[in-house]
Amino acid sequence: MRLGWLQVTAVTAASVVSAQDDLQYSPPFYPSPWANGQGEWASSYQRAVELVSQMTLAEKVNLTTGTGWMLDKCVGQTGSVPRLGIQSICLQDSPLGIRFGDYNSAFPAGINVAATWDKQLAYLRGQAMGQEFSDKGIDVQLGPAAGPLGRHPDGGRNWEGFSPDPALTGVLFAETIRGIQDAGVIATAKHYIANEQEHFRQTPEAKGLGFDISDTLSSNIDDKTMHELYLWPFADAVRAGVGAIMCSYNQINNSYGCQNSQTLNKLLKAELGFQGFVMSDWSAQHSGVGAALAGMDMSMPGDIAFNDGLSFYGTNLTIGVLNGTIPQWRVDDMAVRIMAAYYKVGRDRLHTPPNFSSWTRDEFGFEHNAVSDGAYERVNHFVDVQRDHAQIIRRVGADSVVLLKNTGALPLSGKEKKVSILGEDAGSNPWGANGCDDRGCDNGTLAMAWGSGTAEFPYLVTPEQAIQSQVINGRGNVFAVTDNGALDQMAKVAAQSSVALVFVNADAGEAFISVDGNNGDRKNLTLWKNGEEVIKTAAKSCNNTVVVIHSVGPVLVDEWYEHPNVTGILWAGLPGQESGNSIADVLYGRVNPGAKSPFTWGKTREAYGAPLVTKPNNGHGAPQADFTEGVFIDYRRFDQKNETPIYEFGYGLSYTTFEFSNLHVLPLKGAEYQPASGKTGAAPKLGKTGEASDYQYPKGLHRVRQYIYPWLNSTDLKSSSGDPHYNDDITKWVPEGSHDGSPQPILPAGGGAGGNPRLYEDLFRVSVTITNTGDVVGDEVPQLYVSLGGPNEPKKVLRKFERLHLAPSQQVVWSTTLSRRDLSNWDVQKQDWVITPYHKEIFVGSSSRQLPLHASLPAVQ
Ligand SMILES: *[C@@H]1O[C@H](CO)[C@@H](O)[C@H](O)[C@H]1NC(C)=O
Ligand SMILES: *[C@@H]1O[C@H](CO)[C@@H](O)[C@H](O)[C@H]1NC(C)=O
Ligand SMILES: *[C@@H]1O[C@H](CO)[C@@H](O)[C@H](O)[C@H]1NC(C)=O
Ligand SMILES: *[C@@H]1O[C@H](CO)[C@@H](O)[C@H](O)[C@H]1NC(C)=O
Ligand SMILES: *[C@@H]1O[C@H](CO)[C@@H](O)[C@H](O)[C@H]1NC(C)=O
Ligand SMILES: *[C@@H]1O[C@H](CO)[C@@H](O)[C@H](O)[C@H]1NC(C)=O
Ligand SMILES: *[C@@H]1O[C@H](CO)[C@@H](O)[C@H](O)[C@H]1NC(C)=O
Ligand SMILES: *[C@@H]1O[C@H](CO)[C@@H](O)[C@H](O)[C@H]1NC(C)=O
Ligand SMILES: *[C@@H]1O[C@H](CO)[C@@H](O)[C@H](O)[C@H]1NC(C)=O
Ligand SMILES: *[C@@H]1O[C@H](CO)[C@@H](O)[C@H](O)[C@H]1NC(C)=O
C-alpha cells in the first residue's frame, strides 16, 4: 500500500491510498521499534521501565501530550503524574539560548559554531546553554538543529544549524548535544528530516501568501542521499546519546514527517537505534493513530490547532489504546522513552518547576496564561542565569570571524587617527535590541536572525560601541554614520579616515514572520539595506575600506570584493550579545582569526543549483521538492560542475601563515565488517490498560478551558473522542504489522547507537605536520577530505578536521583516524554501508580547494 496524502484525523494510519499515484511514496515500516536500553541507556531505561510499570494508561498518556499552547509557562509542557511525583516536563526554545526569558544569555548562532570548526567551543557553548536552561527550570532545550542542513543557500533557517557539510555539522551537533546534556538538560536534535526550506512548510502560512495547497511541501529524497547527507548528522546525534528528536513540518516522499514510518520507525529507531523520544514540531502532527504507530512519542504543544482544546493524543490516545487501534506496548514505549531521557541527563536530580513565564515579563500572572485561569501567582522570579557566559559568547563570536580578504590593512594598530564606522549594521536597533518580536526585523546590527530560534538579548554590544571605545582609548577620532541613506555623509567622513569600517548584512528566518518580502527564506543573496552602495561609497573615498558582513549565509560579493580600496573583508555571521567586542577583538588583533567558511561563496545564486520551491507545482496538492541533485550540494556541486567559487568551503585567512607537510597513512587492524543480525526482544508490556470506566474525568475536577487532559467524557469511546471520522473498521486504518510486538529482525546497518558499531571502527591513522610559518600566534584548521571513487561520487567529501593553536614557528603533528563509516557509501540494494572497490584517496590542507597533500588509501574490504 502507498503512503500518500493523509487526512487530518486521529484515525488516519500511514496507509491511506494516495490520490496521486505518480508521486514519490514512502514505503511503510512497522512495527514501531520499542526502546531496549542499549549501551549507555541501560540504567536510565531500567528506571523508566520501573516507573512506567506503575502507571495507569492516563498517566502514561499525560507524559506524551502537551497541555496546549500558552496553557502553562513554557512553549511546551507535558501533563504530569502527581501520584508518582512526576511534575510537568518543560520544553523551551531555542538552539541559541532561552527564548521568551530574561536574565539569560543570547549565544552566537549555530552557523557561527560551524565557522569556528572548534569541537571544544561547541561543547562549552552547549554546556553553558544547558546550565541556563536548567537554572530556569527547563527540562528540554529545543535545539540544536541540523535540519535544515543547507541544501539551499537562501533557506531561511540554515543559520540555526551548522553547515551544509554533514560531517562538519555532525561533529559540532554531537558536541553541542553532549554539552547541553552534561549540564543536565535534554537536548533536541531537530528538525527531522529534510526540512530544507520555509515556503510551504505549513498550509495556513501558504494561504497567507495566497496559495491554496492541501498539504505541506514534500521533500522527495532517494535512499542513498538520505543516508549519506541528511541523516548523517542525526546518526552522530544518536551516537552522542541525544534524548529527544523533533520531527518536522514537511513531508518526506509525500508522508508527513511526524507520521512517516520509514523515517521514524525504520531509519531513526530501527537503524540508528534511537532510544529517546520523538516529539512533533509545533502543529506538525497530522494524525493520532497514524503518528503513534509510525513512531511519534510526544505531541507538542498538545493541541491540534493552537488553543482549540483538542488533541490527536491526550483523550484520543487513551481511546486509541482502549479501542485496540494502538497496542498498549506502543504507549508504554512512548512513556519509557520520555522518562529514560529524563533520567539519563539527571533531570530527576535537577528538575525544578519553571521559574519564568514565556508569556509575560510581569512578576504576577495567571497559572494558565491563555485562558487567565488557575492560581494568580508569581510567574516570573527573575532568576539571573547568565553566569560568566559572556566570556564564551565573546570567544565564539571572535573565533567564528572568517577573514576573507586582507591586503595588509589588518589587524588595525589601535593608533589610527581617524576612523569611520559606516552602515546601519554597525549601530543599535532604534527600536531596541529586542524591539521586534522574535527579532523579526533588520534594524541596526544583525546579531541574531528571526523566528523561534532566538533568545531575548540581555544587552547587545554593537560594533559601533566597541570600536568607538577602542578608538577613543587610542586617542583617535571616530565618526559613525549608520543611516544607509546618508551616502554623502559617509563619503565625507570616509575621505578623511585612515580606515573606513563598513558594516553590512543579510537576514532571514522562520516563515511565520516576513521581513521586507522575505517569507522566511531569502528572496535573493544580495545584501540588505543598500549594502552594496554603502560599500562602494566608502571604497570610492577611502583607500583602506574594510567590510564586515553579518549574514545568515553566503551573500553575493562579486560587485565589490576585488575593488582595490577594499583592503579587508570579514564574515562575522550572527555573533550574539557580544557582537561588537568579538569583531573588535579580531580587527585589533587581540584574536587572530582562525575561522573557516562553513559554506561556499558562489558568484551567483544559480551556481548552487537546488532552487527553492516558491510556487505550488502540484496543483492544489502538496508542492513537490525533488532532491534530484542528490548529495551534490554546496562545495560538492561546485566541484562537480567545475565552478570556481569566490571563496570556497573551508576557506579563511589568518594574520599568520601555515605550512602542511609529511602526510602519513597507517592502516590499522580493523575487524571485518559484520552486518548486524539476530532479533530484538519482544515488546515489553508495562502495567495494565484497564477499561473506559477507569479513565473518566475525575468528579469535581475544575476543567481548565483549552487544557489538554488524558481523560474521557463518558464510557462511550466514540462520543468521548468526538472525531467525526471515528471509525470502527480497524483493518482499514491500522497498517499491516503495526501491532506485532514479537521479536523483530535487527537491520544489517543497525545494532548500536548511530548504527552498526562496526561502522565506527577505525581503519586508518593519518598524520600530518602543520607549521606556523609567520610571526604571530594563530589557529589553523587542517581539513581531511576523502575521494570515495566511483563514477557518481563527489570529487571529495570532508571527513576530519581539528582547530589547532600554534605559536610562531611551532610545528605540530596532527593525527586523526578514518573509520569504516568515513570510507563507506550507502548500498541501496544491500540496505547497508559498503566500502566500494573504487580507488580511494585522501587530501589534506587548509580549505576545500587548498589541499597540498594527498595519498592513496590501500584497498580495504
Ligand atoms: C480527536 O481527534 C479528532 C481528529 O482526528 C478530533 O476531531 C477530535 O476532536 C479529537 N478529540 C478530542 C477529545 O480531542
Ligand atoms: C523515498 O523514495 C525514494 C525513491 O523511491 C526511496 O529511495 C527512498 O527510500 C524513499 N524514502 C523515504 C523516507 O520514504
Ligand atoms: C495530567 O496532567 C495534568 C496537568 O499537569 C494534571 O492536572 C492531571 O492530574 C494529570 N493526570 C493524571 C492522570 O495524572
Ligand atoms: C528557579 O531556579 C533555581 C535555580 O535553579 C531553583 O533553585 C529554584 O527552585 C527555582 N525557583 C525560584 C523561585 O528561584
Ligand atoms: C524597524 O523594523 C520595522 C520592521 O521591519 C520597520 O518597519 C521599521 O521601519 C524599522 N525601524 C527603524 C527605526 O529602523
Ligand atoms: C534582496 O533582498 C533585500 C532584502 O529584502 C533587499 O533589500 C534587496 O534590495 C534585494 N536585492 C535585489 C537585487 O532585489
Ligand atoms: C591611502 O592613501 C594615503 C594617502 O592618501 C596613503 O598614505 C596610504 O598609503 C594609502 N593606503 C593604502 C592602503 O594604499
Ligand atoms: C581609492 O581611494 C582613493 C582615496 O583614498 C580614491 O582617490 C580612489 O579613486 C579610490 N579608488 C577607486 C578605484 O575608487
Ligand atoms: C466533553 O465535555 C466537555 C465539558 O462538558 C465539553 O466541553 C467537550 O466538548 C466534550 N468533549 C467531547 C469530545 O464531546
Ligand atoms: C479508536 O480511537 C481513535 C482515537 O479516538 C479513533 O481515531 C479511531 O477511529 C478509533 N478506531 C476504532 C477502530 O474504533
Report the relative pairing of strands 499-506 and 545-551 from DSSP bridges: parallel
Q: What is the DSSP letter of 858?
A: P
Tell me the CA–centroid distance for residue 721 and ligand 1, in Å.
Answer: 6
pLDDT at residue 42, rounded to an integer: 98
Q: Which of the four pLDDT bands, split at 50, 70 and 90, describes residue 669? A: confident
Q: CB within 8 A of 373, min separation 6: which ones?
A: 366, 367, 704, 705
Amino acid at 66: G
Q: What residue owns the CA closest to ligand 6's atom 14?
A: 524
Q: Which of the four pLDDT bands, split at 50, 70 and 90, describes residue 727? A: confident
State which of 701, 707, 713 you would mutate to test the pocket of ligand 9, scoring each by most atoms of that ligand within 8 A of its C-beta: 713
The residue behind cell 578623511 is 496
Exposure letters 365-386 (e unless 16+ CB within 10 A, then b): bbbbbbbebbeeeebbeebebb
Residue 826 and residue 763 share a domain: yes
Euclidean distance between CA atoms 317 and 335, whole angstroms: 12
Task: Kindly state the percentage of the chain with pLDDT values over 90.
Answer: 96
787 domain-assigned: yes
| Atom in ligand 9 nearest the alpha carbon of residue 310 | 13
Euclidean distance between CA atoms 387 and 594, whole angstroms: 27
Where on the phi/psi map is residue 678: left (φ > 0), alpha (ψ -120 to 50), or beta? left
Tell me the CA–centroid distance for residue 519 and ligand 6, in Å.
Answer: 13
3-class SS at 690? coil
Q: Which of the four pLDDT bands, split at 50, 70 and 90, describes residue 14? A: very low
Euclidean distance between CA atoms 32 and 274, whole angstroms: 12
Euclidean distance between CA atoms 466 and 364, whole angstroms: 37
Euclidean distance between CA atoms 814 and 54, whole angstroms: 53
Nearest ligand to the C-alpha of residue 565? 8
Euclidean distance between CA atoms 533 and 349, whole angstroms: 56
CA end-to-end distance (rounded Å), the chain: 37
Q: What residue owns the CA closest to ligand 5's atom 14?
A: 443
Q: Model confidence over 447-468: pLDDT tens digits? A: 999 999 999 999 999 999 999 9
8 A C-beta contact, residue 686 and residue 52: yes
Exposure letters 809-834 (e unless 16+ CB within 10 A, then b): eeebebebbbbbbbbbbbbeeeebbb
Euclidean distance between CA atoms 59 and 711, whole angstroms: 10
Q: What residue owns the CA closest to ligand 5's atom 10?
A: 443
Q: Model confidence over 521-558: pLDDT tens digits? A: 999 999 999 999 999 999 999 999 999 999 999 999 99
With a 6 A CB cut-off, is 137 part of the ligand 4 pocket? yes
Residue 227 and residue 200 share a domain: yes
With a 6 A CB cut-off, is 183 part of the ligand 1 pocket? no
pLDDT at residue 175, rounded to an integer: 99
Q: What residue owns the CA closest to ligand 8's atom 3?
A: 543
Euclidean distance between CA atoms 380 and 404, whole angstroms: 45
pLDDT at residue 21, rounded to an integer: 63
pLDDT at residue 5, rounded to an integer: 30
Q: Model confidence over 459-515: pLDDT tens digits? A: 999 999 999 999 999 999 999 999 999 999 999 999 999 999 999 999 999 999 999
Residue 771 and residue 728 share a domain: no
CA dihedral for 315, 317, 320, 324, sign (positive or negative)? negative
Residue 698 and residue 786 share a domain: no
8 A C-beta contact, residue 800 and residue 816: yes
Instruction: Count, in order, helices (H) and strands (E) of the chain.
Output: 20, 29
382 domain-assigned: no
Does the pLDDT value for residue 730 go beyond 80? Answer: no
Tell me the CA–centroid distance for residue 517 and ligand 6, in Å.
Answer: 9
Burial (CB < 10 A; 0-12, 13-18, 19+), residue 654, is: buried
Residue 410 and residue 495 share a domain: yes
Tell me the CA–centroid distance for residue 818 and ligand 1, in Å.
Answer: 51
Average pLDDT on 167-184 reads 99
Q: Which of the four pLDDT bands, split at 50, 70 and 90, describes residue 20? A: low
Tell me the CA–centroid distance for residue 189 and ligand 2, in Å.
Answer: 22
611 domain-assigned: no
Residue 669 and residue 689 share a domain: no
Within 309-417, strands assigned E span: 364-368, 373-378, 402-406
Residue 671 and residue 690 share a domain: no
- What dihedral do alpha carbons 449, 455, 460, 463 form, nearest 10°? -30
Nearest ligand to the C-alpha of residue 720? 9
Euclidean distance between CA atoms 820 and 824, whole angstroms: 6
Residue 557 and residue 510 share a domain: yes
What phi, psi does 357 have (nearest 5°)?
-120, 135
In this structure, how many other beta carbons lie within 10 angstroms of the beta carbon of residue 750?
24
Where on the phi/psi map is residue 314: left (φ > 0), alpha (ψ -120 to 50), or beta? left
Residue 63 C-beta-side C-alpha neighbours within 13 Å:
29
State which of 418, 492, 543, 566 you would mutate to test the pocket of ligand 8, scoring each by most atoms of that ligand within 8 A of its C-beta: 543
With a 6 A CB cut-off, is 611 part of the ligand 9 pocket? no
pLDDT at residue 815, rounded to an integer: 98
In this structure, how many other beta carbons lie within 10 angstroms of the beta carbon of residue 555?
22
H or E stretch covering 59: helix 57-64
Does the pLDDT value for residue 120 go beyond 50? Answer: yes
3-class SS at 714? coil
**Domain region containing 401:** 392-599+649-656
Residue 567 and residue 425 share a domain: yes
DSSP letters for 796-817: -EEEEE--EEE-TT-EEEEEEE
Verify cis geometry, omega within 30 degrees of 0, for the bond prior to 698. Answer: no
Tell me the CA–centroid distance for residue 442 and ligand 5, in Å.
Answer: 7
When the pLDDT of each residue in the chain is averaged and rounded to a whole number, the result is: 96
Does the pLDDT value for residue 7 go beyond 60? Answer: no
| Atom in ligand 9 nearest the alpha carbon of residue 721 | 13
Nearest ligand to the C-alpha of residue 504? 6
Does the pLDDT value for residue 11 go beyond 80? Answer: no
Active site residues: 281
Q: Model confidence over 588-625: pLDDT tens digits? A: 999 999 999 999 999 999 999 999 999 999 999 999 99
Q: CB within 8 A of 805, min separation 6: which ones?
A: 594, 777, 778, 779
Q: What residue owns the CA closest to ligand 4's atom 11?
A: 355
Q: Which of the four pLDDT bands, split at 50, 70 and 90, describes residue 22? A: confident
- What's the predicted TM-score (pTM) here? 0.97
283 domain-assigned: yes
**Edge-to-edge strand order for the sheet containing 762-772?**
658-667, 762-772, 811-819
State which of 90, 134, 135 you would mutate to test the pocket of ligand 4, scoring each by most atoms of that ligand within 8 A of its C-beta: 135
**Residue 850, beta-bridge partner list:** 847
Q: Which three cell numbers stand for residue 777?
A: 600566534
H or E stretch covering 566: strand 566-571
Identify the CATH number of the domain in which residue 224 sits: 3.20.20.300
Tell me the CA–centroid distance for residue 123 and ligand 6, in Å.
Answer: 36
| Atom in ligand 6 nearest the alpha carbon of residue 529 | 7
Euclidean distance between CA atoms 576 and 280, whole angstroms: 28
- Structural domains counted in the chain: 3
Q: Which of the four pLDDT bands, split at 50, 70 and 90, describes residue 56? A: very high
Residue 247 and residue 207 share a domain: yes
pLDDT at residue 861, rounded to an integer: 66
Does the pLDDT value for residue 352 go beyond 90? Answer: yes
Q: Model confidence over 738-786: pLDDT tens digits? A: 999 999 999 999 999 999 999 999 999 999 999 999 999 999 999 999 9
280 domain-assigned: yes
Task: Kindly state the percentage of the chain with pLDDT values over 70.
Answer: 97
Average pLDDT on 63-69 reads 98
Q: Which of the four pLDDT bands, split at 50, 70 and 90, describes residue 12? A: very low
Q: Which three cell numbers stand for residue 839?
A: 580507488
361 domain-assigned: no
Calculate Rg over the CA atoms of the chain: 27
Q: What is the DSSP letter of 81?
A: B
Task: Give me the helices (H) in 85-225, please.
Answer: 110-116, 119-135, 166-182, 203-208, 223-225
Residue 181 and residue 46 share a domain: yes
DSSP letters for 415-482: --SEEEEESGGGS--TT-TT-SGGG-S--S--SS-BSSS----S----HHHHHHHHHHHTT-EEEEE-
Burial (CB < 10 A; 0-12, 13-18, 19+), residue 91, is: buried
Q: In degrees, to the nearest 5, what angle opens at C-alpha 400 toward C-alphas 397 and 401?
A: 95
Identify the CATH number of the domain in which residue 786 sits: 2.60.40.10
Q: Which three cell numbers stand for residue 526?
A: 544580495
Identify the CATH number of the domain in which residue 463 sits: 3.40.50.1700
587 domain-assigned: yes
| Atom in ligand 5 nearest the alpha carbon of residue 516 | 5
8 A C-beta contact, residue 216 and residue 256: yes
Nearest ligand to the C-alpha of residue 294? 2
Residue 715 and residue 763 share a domain: no
Q: Model confidence over 193-205: pLDDT tens digits? A: 999 999 999 999 9
Q: What residue owns the CA closest to ligand 9's atom 10?
A: 713
Q: What residue owns the CA closest to ligand 1's atom 13?
A: 721
Q: What is the DSSP letter of 724?
A: T
555 domain-assigned: yes
Tell me the CA–centroid distance for residue 95 and ligand 3, in Å.
Answer: 29
Q: What residue owns the CA closest to ligand 3's atom 2?
A: 79
Tell me the CA–centroid distance for residue 676 and ligand 9, in Å.
Answer: 50
Average pLDDT on 393-404 reads 99
Q: What residue owns the CA closest to ligand 1's atom 14?
A: 310
Verify cis geometry, omega within 30 degrees of 0, for the bond prior to 191. Answer: yes
The residue behind cell 513565564 is 357
